[in-house]
């Protein structure tokens, strides 16, 4: 493998064996009338509540930014002009526009709430692979540069320029980012098992090592208790860190290998997270730490990004089924189907064999994890039904700084 310069997709699409199970409530299909027809294989990844009362999400495979109303109707799909830009993360800026990362194009995009693309800002460092994005307390847009090992910033007013700030630890692989109650930006270091903190002047003030060497921190958010809560994809738990850098108790997730990914604060004040590998949405009680898991009814949906919607429910992107999911505070939920469905076949297909089953959607192949040693290995291939789009990911860590990764994205005419 090439030295981890192309490994970001391994993080976004990381998953283990998909597990079935039972829980108090099951997500159900919602009848909301005819939705807008999305591009097949949109691969919805990240989602955020927009300034217009709708939800906005990125289409990794369709190269689009899309909009869905709180009643579950997709009302718009807006193509991006840069081919294969791979829109990844999305947020609302202080200017009232939607800002998003373009992982494949190495740009930051800005879109008006009516779907008009306002700008695409190229990043100074080539192939930096921008991933997570958030609005900072200083009125700027902040984002992580996974391959460049940097944190980026773009002011939203005045002279708009791109600023980049290096992270002291080499190969840290900064992934997700959020604003802390202290006015600093906090981010997960996927490659070095640390939580980082940077001030609005661009100085990385701290990098806090995590207790578990196989933690693999992924999502992060500010909790109602004033601490930072984060998902540990490798350790299969939810943990907290104080503003002083103290790592508090971690809460193991009952389902093994659930691969917790996105995390947010729900309208009920508890922490909600997605389980990419277990096909579930989880809730952790802010006071007791008790975790409740709710399975998604659609097999292999791969719930990824999650956010609180304007209707007081949780919304999440279903990466594997071309759908957007929603769940209420009691765990009852819905999955909003797109007519041009492109989903994963039921069950994993080992070794990526030729199979007519691939006609049902993207195929997951050659997936493995060694949980018994210091090696954590992930290999994933997704191929769309018409064979027009292929995403191949490989990621390998053998401890220390021996991290490698590759990603290949191919779209045929």
Strand pairing of 163-166 and 363-365?
unpaired
Give ∠ CA 401-406-407 in degrees, rounded to 5: 140
Instruction: Tell me which of 227-241, 254-268, 343-357, 369-383 is least confident.
Output: 343-357
Q: Could you tell me if 232 and 241 are in contact, meaning their C-beta atoms sit under 8 angstroms apart?
A: no
Buried b (16+ CB within 10 A) or exposed e, 316-342: bbbbbbbbbbbbbeebebbbbbbeeeb
Q: Could you tell me if 164 and 150 are in contact, meaning their C-beta atoms sit under 8 angstroms apart?
A: yes
Instruction: Tell me which of 213-222, 339-348, 403-412 is least confident.
Output: 339-348
Q: Could you tell me if 229 and 215 are in contact, meaning their C-beta atoms sit under 8 angstroms apart?
A: no
Sheet strands (E) in 50-199: 55-59, 64-68, 74-79, 87-92, 98-102, 107-111, 117-122, 130-135, 140-145, 150-155, 163-166, 174-179, 185-189, 194-198
Say which residue the tokens 């590998």 belong to.
277
Question: From the CB of residue 244, how many other CB atoms can be counted at a distance below 10 Å?
Answer: 8
Say which residue the tokens 């991006």 belong to.
80
Task: Give me the torsion for CA of 151, 186, 212, 283, rounded to 10°.
Answer: -130
* Concatenated DSSP letters of 269-322: SSEEEEETTTTEEEEE-TTT--EEEEE-SSTT--EEEEEE-TTSSEEEEETTTT
pLDDT at residue number 195 = 98
pLDDT one-digit tens code per residue, 312-344:
999 999 877 778 999 988 877 676 654 333 332
Q: Could you tell me if 230 and 190 are in contact, meaning their C-beta atoms sit under 8 angstroms apart?
A: no
Strand order in the sheet with 280-284: 260-265, 271-275, 280-284, 291-295
pLDDT one-digit tens code per residue, 4-24:
333 333 333 332 222 222 222
- Whole-model pTM: value is 0.78
Using the predicted structure, report yes or no on whether residue 41 has a pLDDT greater than 70: no
Instruction: Tell me which of 50-54, 108-112, 324-328 is least confident.
Output: 324-328
> Under DSSP, is residue 324 helix (H, G, I), strand (E, B) or coil?
strand
Q: Could you tell me if 149 and 168 are in contact, meaning their C-beta atoms sit under 8 angstroms apart?
A: no
Instruction: Give the closest residue to 281 by CA, choosing from 245, 311, 251, 317.
Output: 317
Using the predicted structure, report yes or no on whether residue 233 has a pLDDT greater than 70: yes
**What CATH code would you report for 20-336?**
2.130.10.10
Q: Could you tell me if 411 and 84 are in contact, meaning their C-beta atoms sit under 8 angstroms apart?
A: yes
Top mean-pLDDT range of 28-32, 118-122, 190-194, 286-290: 118-122
pLDDT at residue number 367 = 31
> Under DSSP, is residue 242 helix (H, G, I), strand (E, B) or coil?
coil
Q: Could you tell me if 280 and 258 are in contact, meaning their C-beta atoms sit under 8 angstroms apart?
A: yes
Mean per-residue pLDDT, 122-140: 94
User: What is the spatial distance between Cα 235 and Cα 223, in angstroms, rounded to a whole number?
Assistant: 20
> Under DSSP, is residue 88 helix (H, G, I), strand (E, B) or coil?
strand
């Amino acid at each position: 493998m090439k030295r981890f310069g192309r490994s970001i997709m391994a993080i976004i699409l990381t998953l283990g064996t998909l597990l079935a199970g039972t829980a108090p409530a099951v997500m159900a299909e919602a009848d909301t009338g005819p939705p807008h027809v999305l591009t097949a294989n949109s691969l919805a990844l990240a989602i955020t509540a927009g300034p217009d009362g709708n939800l906005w999400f990125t289409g990794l495979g369709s190269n689009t930014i899309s909009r869905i109303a709180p009643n579950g109707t997709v009302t718009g799909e807006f193509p991006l002009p840069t081919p294969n830009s791979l829109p990844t993360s999305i947020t609302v800026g202080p200017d009232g526009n939607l800002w998003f990362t373009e992982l494949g194009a190495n740009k930051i995009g800005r879109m008006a709430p009516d779907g008009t693309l306002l700008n695409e800002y190229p990043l100074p460092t080539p192939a930096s692979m921008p991933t997570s994005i958030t609005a900072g307390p200083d009125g700027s847009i902040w984002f992580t540069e996974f391959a460049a090992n940097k944190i980026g910033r773009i002011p939203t007013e005045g002279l708009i320029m791109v600023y980049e700030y290096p992270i002291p630890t080499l190969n840290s692989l900064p992934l997700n980012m959020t604003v802390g109650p202290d006015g600093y930006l906090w981010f997960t270091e996927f490659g070095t098992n640390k939580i980082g903190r940077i001030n609005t002047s661009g100085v990385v003030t701290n990098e806090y090592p995590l207790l578990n060497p196989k933690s693999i921190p992924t999502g992060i958010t500010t909790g109602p208790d004033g601490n930072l809560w984060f998902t540990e994809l490798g350790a299969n738990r939810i943990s907290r860190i104080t503003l002083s850098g103290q790592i508090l108790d971690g809460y193991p997730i009952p389902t093994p290998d659930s691969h917790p990914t996105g995390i947010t604060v729900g309208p009920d004040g508890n922490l909600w997270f997605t389980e990419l590998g277990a096909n579930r949405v989880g809730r952790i009680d802010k006071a007791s730490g008790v975790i409740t898991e709710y399975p998604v009814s659609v097999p292999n949906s791969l719930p990824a990004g999650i956010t609180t919607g304007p209707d007081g429910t949780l919304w999440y992107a279903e990466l594997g089924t071309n759908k957007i999911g929603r769940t209420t505070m009691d765990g009852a939920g819905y999955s909003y189907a797109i007519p041009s469905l492109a989903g994963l076949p039921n069950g994993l297909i080992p070794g990526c064999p030729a199979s007519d089953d691939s006609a049902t959607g993207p195929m997951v192949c050659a997936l493995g994890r060694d949980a018994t040693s210091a090696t954590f290995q992930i290999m994933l291939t997704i191929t769309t039904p018409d064979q027009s789009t292929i995403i191949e990911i490989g990621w390998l860590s053998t401890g220390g700084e021996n991290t490698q990764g590759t990603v290949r994205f191919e779209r045929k005419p």
